[in-house]
Amino acid sequence: MRVTAPWLAVAFVAGAFCSGIVLRVAPSAMPGAAGAAGSQVAANGVSPWVRAAAGYQQLYSRDTVALGAPAADVSARIVADIRAQDGLELRVPDLSAMGLTFKRVQRLRFNDKPLVQIVYLPKEGPPVALCVMKDAKPDAGLAQQRVERMDVVTWRQAELSYALIAEPGAADLHAIGKQIAGSGVGAMFSQNNAMLQPIT
- Out of 27-41, 49-63, 97-111, which region has the weakest mean confidence (pLDDT)? 27-41
What's the pTM value of the predicted model, to 2 decimals?
Answer: 0.74
Which domains, from first to last, does the chain contain?
6-196 (3.30.200.100)
Each residue's pLDDT tens digit, 92-132:
999 999 999 999 999 999 999 999 999 999 999 999 999 99
| Angstrom distance (rounded) from CA 62 to CA 191 | 29
Report which of 107, 94, 163, 108 is spatially closest to residue 135, judged by C-alpha positions: 163
What pLDDT was estimated at residue 190? 60
Flag the least confident range among 49-53, 109-113, 148-152, 179-183: 179-183
CB 118 within 8 A of CB 102: yes
